[in-house]
Chains A and B, each alone.
Chain A
Amino acid sequence: MAKRRVFLAALAVMLAALATHGPARAADIVIGVPSWSSAEATAHVLGEIIHQKFGVSVAYKAGTNEEIFAAMDSGEMQVHPEVWLPNHRALMLDYVNGRKTVAMNRHGVPATQGMCTTAATAEKYHIASISDLADPEKVKIFDTDSNGKGEVWIGDKDWASTRIEKIRAKSYGYDATMTLLEGEETVAMAMIDVAAATGKPLVFYCYAPHHLFQLHDVKLLDEPAHDPTKWIVHTPSDDPDWLKNSSAPVAWDVSFLHIHYQKALEEAHPDVAKLLANVELDTDTISAMTYALVAERKDPAEFAGEWVADNAERIEGWLK
């Protein structure tokens, strides 16, 4: 597990209040709720559809990726709303291909990550490409401590992706022109809020789906397409000189988000299993759902109810 596992730990406290309705109670279907907002949104929408269409009771329970997969294996949980692949490929191979106790929805939702800037920054200062960050003159606009170097947030210090962002900064050369900041996502998001409100130039690590893209007008910086032959990424555990020996001067590969569910549902609740196999979401839909819950602070159950009503035709297609 890469980014998402550490992401869980980093945001567990922040999202605790949103992540669950409390301890799982006796219910036909228990949906695991990982501690990031898009998974929470999908969890509640799926739960609401299942409850409305099949009349079964649904409960929600917070958990890490590993916990939810283990719970689907043991029968304590039935659904994981958002598994990042290939980040969690090992879990998928273990439970889906190996133990055959978990099934995977085949309709993956593309997920992207990279470096972003505010639209105002891109327009006013002509920051469009990740190569711009290696230009010492261009990045002076991001200098807030008068040391001649810009500053850029590259992620939470505990995220696996942050380590890779260090490799990318070295590979593109902006580790020499910018100070790489690591810190909590809550702080980084507030920094973007302030930049948007004041027009202050800002560049930062970003990933989608994320409510950020509904909240602010941000641009993903251009960079060379992903090339697996150029993506040489070592970890501290396999190489003490991991940063020196790594190189990644290309974009991240696209990840895919997949719903997973307990295989036994195909016998216990075949209608529910069919729905979970057929659901087909997309990046914009998940981002919009997340925005409604996180930014607009809609009650998850109420929002899911509205969403189901507004998307009746689409949902009918998933039930066939």
Chain B
Amino acid sequence: MAEMTERTHTAPLSRLKRAAFLAVAILGIAGISAAAVAEASRYWDPVSKKWIVYNPKRVQEAATAQGGTPKRFRRTVVDFETAERPGTIIIDADQHFLYLVQPGFKAIRYGVGVGRDGFGWSGVVTIGRKAEWPTWTPPTDMIERDPKLVKYASGMPGGPENPLGARAMYLHYGGKDTLYRIHGTNEPWSIGLNVSSGCIRLNNEDIKDLYTRVGVGSKVIVLMSGAALYES
């Protein structure tokens, strides 16, 4: 297990927020607005274009029933016509998918969770570094908001409770760390939702799979749609 101290934009979920996300997940709605995080008592349904009030009891049931990544966000191979080279990663925050381009106009498609704050960007970056079971260090402002995190001020060791999950890949631009990562999660049901603060989350099985398939220097394209359009 690599022990590295990392600062990321990933925020642990409050119980209330998690309940809201589960409600959305069980209803099979992929594109919850990040505004739902702030609202907590209702969520935005991009299909009906309406705010929907969630039922706490149903949320509790959903949490029990869900238990993992929603079906439509599970890893699969899809047809994918592109001029990008095999090994390129394309992240579609809007539809919550990450594509790893394969030969023969195919791609491995992974479901992802994305964030709102700090994800107001798009562009071409590279994987500058990789780490197994990375240590997570909450940013200072996050500790100020949630004093319980102070015990992790010097780093939370990697492991099942760590929000970075089993693996992390560090996105660099122009040779410098952007502070954005593609990483795992200890909350697999959150795949398909906008809950972190700018990082791209895969469930731990998927991040391990992706980790073995891409190396340092791999090209990552983040599309300019959906969550990437939100102003931070």
Residues on B with beta carbons closer than 8 Å to the beta carbon of A189: 82-84
A197 to B108, CA, bound (A): 12
Q: How many residues of A contact B (CB 8 A)?
A: 28
| Interface contact B83-A153, CB-CB below 8 Å | no
| Interface contact B221-A190, CB-CB below 8 Å | yes
Q: How many residues of B contact A (CB 8 A)?
A: 31
Query: Which A-B residue pairs are the 3 nearest by beta carbons?
Result: A145-B229, A193-B82, A144-B226
| Interface contact B49-A197, CB-CB below 8 Å | no
Task: Please report A residues at the B interface, Cβ cutoff 8 Å.
Answer: 14, 144-146, 151, 153, 179, 181, 183-184, 186-191, 193-194, 196-198, 200, 211, 215-216, 294-295, 297
Q: Which of B140-160 contact A (CB under 8 A)?
A: none
Instruction: Considering the complex, give the chain B residue whose CB is closest to the CB of A14.
Output: B124
Instruction: Considering the complex, give the chain B residue whose CB is closest to the CB of A189.
Output: B83
Task: Please report B residues at the A interface, Cβ cutoff 8 Å.
Answer: 33, 44, 46, 49, 78-85, 90, 92, 94-95, 97, 99, 107, 122-124, 221-227, 229-230
Residues on B with beta carbons closer than 8 Å to the beta carbon of A294: 83
> Which of B49, B81, B95, B221 contacts A146, CB < 8 Å?
B49
Residues on B with beta carbons closer than 8 Å to the beta carbon of A153: 224
Residues on B with beta carbons closer than 8 Å to the beta carbon of A183: 122-123, 224
17 A-B residue pairs with Cβ-Cβ distance under 8 Å, sorted by A, are A144-B94, A145-B226, A145-B227, A146-B44, A146-B46, A183-B224, A186-B221, A187-B222, A187-B223, A188-B224, A190-B223, A194-B99, A197-B78, A198-B92, A215-B81, A216-B81, A295-B83
Q: How far is the CB of A18 from chain B (nearest CB, A)?
A: 11
Q: How far is the CB of B118 from chain A (nearest CB, A)?
A: 15
Q: How far is the CB of B99 from chain A (nearest CB, A)?
A: 7
> Which of B46, B79, B123, B124 contacts A197, CB < 8 Å?
B79
How many residue pairs link A and B with beta carbons under 8 A? The number is 79
Q: Counting chain A CB atoms within 10 Å of each CB, which of B44, B49, B94 scores highest?
A: B94
Q: How far is the CB of A99 from chain B (nearest CB, A)?
A: 38
Q: How far is the CB of B198 from chain A (nearest CB, A)?
A: 16
A38 to B123, CA, bound (A): 23
A294 to B99, CA, bound (A): 19
Q: How far is the CB of A56 from chain B (nearest CB, A)?
A: 32
| Interface contact A297-B85, CB-CB below 8 Å | yes
Give 5 A-B pairs besides A146-B49, A187-B123, A197-B79 with Cβ atoms closer than 8 angstroms.
A190-B90, A193-B83, A193-B84, A197-B99, A215-B82
Q: How far is the CB of B172 from chain A (nearest CB, A)?
A: 15
| Interface contact A193-B80, CB-CB below 8 Å | yes
A216 to B82, CA, bound (A): 9
A216 to B81, CA, bound (A): 8
Q: How far is the CB of B229 from chain A (nearest CB, A)?
A: 4
| Interface contact B230-A145, CB-CB below 8 Å | yes
| Interface contact A194-B95, CB-CB below 8 Å | yes
> Which of A184, A200, A297 contacts B123, CB < 8 Å?
A184
Q: How far is the CB of B209 from chain A (nearest CB, A)?
A: 20
A190 to B90, CA, bound (A): 7
A211 to B81, CA, bound (A): 12
| Interface contact A196-B81, CB-CB below 8 Å | yes
Instruction: Considering the complex, give the chain A residue whose CB is closest to the CB of B49.
Output: A146
A158 to B122, CA, bound (A): 16
Instruction: Considering the complex, give the chain A residue whose CB is closest to the CB of B90.
Output: A190
Residues on B with beta carbons closer than 8 Å to the beta carbon of A297: 85
